[in-house]
Amino acid sequence: MREEKSIEIQHVLAFNCVDFKYANNGSYVVKGLNFSVNDGEFVSIIGPSGSGKTTLFRLITGLENPSSGTIQINGHYTEKRLGSVGYMPQQDLLMPWRTVYENVVVPLEIKGINPRSQKEEIYDMLNEFGLKGFEQEYPNKLSGGMKQRVSFLRTILTGAKVLLLDEPFSALDAITRLAMQEWLVDKWENLKKTILFITHDVDEALLLSDRIFIITDKPITHFKEIIVPLGRPRKIRDLAQPEIITIKELMLKELRMDVDTYENN
């Protein structure tokens, strides 16, 4: 009994038999789903468009609630999940009328903390995130990668242990994306956060994750789970290892994607 409890506490997130459908939409998006994520893990969720990835994040944040079943965060069952996780949504939601600095301090303002009390630390973080000199610029002056870093820093400043990143790099070109992937892993290792990361990109999932959850059914009843057999730090060339190529082929098959089509994209 005691042992069970200590195992449970390691999970920062758990879905227990979760069903969900939108009120205005007759079919279930999630049905009887069970999974858990451990403290400090990097887990990617990959699946076709419309399969329910963003819906999973909306459930985790509490923007939606399960039709039945429960979601446990940091060891507690709670309906009030808003605020216990940091959510970086799929669209770039930077406020164009606010400067970079004013955008990243939003989570502090929401908590009623005066950002001026932490201005020095925040400027240090902006520097560390490659945004030095842009603190007082507006988002329209930033490159795509910089906007993503502002958005990520804002998510970190929620102070949440669990970060949900919904396709953060999908709009970036291949070179910027690779630089951002390396940057993200570096930040994740230093910050000791738990990350759930939605992507369409098989290589991105293999490069970043400890585990990958593949969505193969609709509604989502389970994930096909892959434990990535690579140590850290990782390099892009690690993806050329025969074992990883075999896993990649298996993932593409699960996603019903043709390997040649994928490689040519």
Ligand X SMILES: Nc1ncnc2c1ncn2[C@@H]1O[C@H](COP(=O)(O)OP(=O)(O)OP(=O)(O)O)[C@@H](O)[C@H]1O
In the complex, the residues that contact Mg ion under the rule CB under 5 A are: 53-54, 90
53 interacts with ligand X by CB under 6 A: yes
| Token pair of 143 as six digits | 């490159």
State which of positions 15-44 bind ligand X (CB under 6 A). 22, 24-25, 29
How far, in Å, CA of 153 to CA of 178, rounded? 18
Residue 47 CB, shortest distance to ligand X, in Å, is 6
Instruction: Indicate which of ligand X, Mg ion, none lies near residue 49 (CB less than 5 to 8 Å, by partner kind).
Output: ligand X
Range 59-118, binding ligand X (CB under 6 A): 90
Closer by beta carbon to ligand X, 65 or else 90: 90
With tokens 């400090």, the residue in question is 40
E strands of 113-222, at which residues? 162-166, 194-199, 211-215
Radius of gyration of the chain (CA): 19
C-alpha to C-alpha distance for 248 and 265, rounded to whole angstroms: 15
- In one-letter notation, the amino acid at residue 136 is Q
Q: Can residue 217 be called a binding residue for ligand X (CB under 6 A)?
A: no
DSSP symbols for 93-123? ---TTS-HHHHHTHHHHHTT--GGGGHHHHH
Which two tokens mark 94? 């930077």
In the region spanning residues 167 to 196, those forming contacts with ligand X, defined by CB under 6 A, are none
Out of 51, 61, 103, 155, the residue judged to bind ligand X by CB under 6 A: 51
Pick one of Mg ion, ligand X, none as the site partner of residue 51 (Cβ within 5 to 8 A by kind). ligand X
Task: State the residue number with the nearest CB to Mg ion.
Answer: 54
Closer residue to ligand X, CB minimum distance, 49 or 265: 49
| Residues making contact with ligand X (CB under 6 A) | 22, 24-25, 29, 47, 49-55, 90
